[in-house]
Amino acid sequence: MAGSIPECGKGEAVLKPRFPLVVVLAIIVLALVLPFLLPWTYDQIDWDAVRAPAFSGAHIFGTDEIGRDRLARLAAGTRITLMVAIAAALVSLVVGIAWGATAGWIGGRVDEAMMRIVDGLYALPFMFIVILLMVVFGRSILLVFVGIGLVEWLTMARVVRGQVMALKQRPFILAAEAAGTPSRMIMLRHMLPNIAGVALAYLMLTVPQVVMVESFLSFLGLGVQEPLTSLGILVKEGADDMDMTPLGLALPGGLLVMLLVCLTIEGERLRDRFS
């Protein structure tokens, strides 16, 4: 593992073989393309090959305990997991920017009150409220990412607020204000382009977190529901059957960890570049 990590030269941010990025892209491409290439869908049962071992016949990674192709399920699961993650990260981006920018722009008491709320929410057992939400509103996939997005916006709000506070003092913003530009225009035209970079970096960092939360919920049976599948569900299925076929746990578990690690590394690199 360590051998493939690019060495970080002094002061050199440019790394030649962006290994983690390549892995993430490869996973995304495979998840998108594989379902079209495989002769099986993720929920199709091959009655002639139940519990087929890996590399036996046409099933590359074998089949699970009811004869569904592991590779097809992995691709489908990854696709759902990534979809939920991106959607939830976008929700957190929108809410975080709106909240943080408002607090930072208005400042004073409003800012203090809004940030107190963020501090307060940080300390809450939020996961439990999300679990309650899932139980209450019937675990629809839409709710999964709205729920997760609503939990993960806090850091974004803090970061955006800090950026807006700093920008507010900059001459070009003061000039725009002096020229009578309406606040909304200043926000959209002058502020947003300047916070976009940092926001993007934190968006990147939110994605693995959301992946983690989604898988956690799905693992407990509270997130994505059958017949849809996600990496969390696959890990759960694998864990239930691990004494028979360890591969069922190793494949989705390994893929999930790899995805999380590579996304985190890329996100941190992006963040370090912008701040």
Residues that bind other proteins (CB under 8 A): 1-2, 5, 7-8, 10, 120, 122-129, 131-133, 135-138, 208, 212, 215-216, 219-220, 222, 232, 235-236, 238-239, 242-243, 246, 249-250, 253, 256-257, 260-261, 264-265, 268
Shortest Cβ 261–other proteins spacing (Å) = 5
Phi-psi region of 146 (alpha: psi -120 to 50; beta: other; left: phi over 0): alpha
Which of 67/223 has CB closer to other proteins? 223
Which of 189/273 has CB closer to other proteins? 273
Shortest Cβ 146–other proteins spacing (Å) = 15
Strand partners, 56: 59
Q: Would you list the DSSP string of 90-116? A: HHHHHHHHHHHHHHHHH-HHHHHHHHH
Q: How many residues does the chain have?
A: 275
Specify burial of residue 143 (Cβ count, 10 A radius: 0-12, 13-18, 19+): middle
Which of 161/176 has CB closer to other proteins? 161
Question: What percentage of the chain's residues is helix, strand, coil (to nearest 5)?
Answer: 70, 0, 25
Please tell me the distance from the alpha carbon of residue 127 to that of residue 214, in angstroms, as a whole number: 11
Which of 5/113 has CB closer to other proteins? 5
- Integer CA distances (angstroms), 212 to 58, 103, 218, in order: 32, 29, 10
Which of 8/175 has CB closer to other proteins? 8
Shortest Cβ 62–other proteins spacing (Å) = 17
Please tell me the distance from the alpha carbon of residue 17 to that of residue 115, in angstroms, as a whole number: 40
Shortest Cβ 10–other proteins spacing (Å) = 8
Shortest Cβ 173–other proteins spacing (Å) = 30
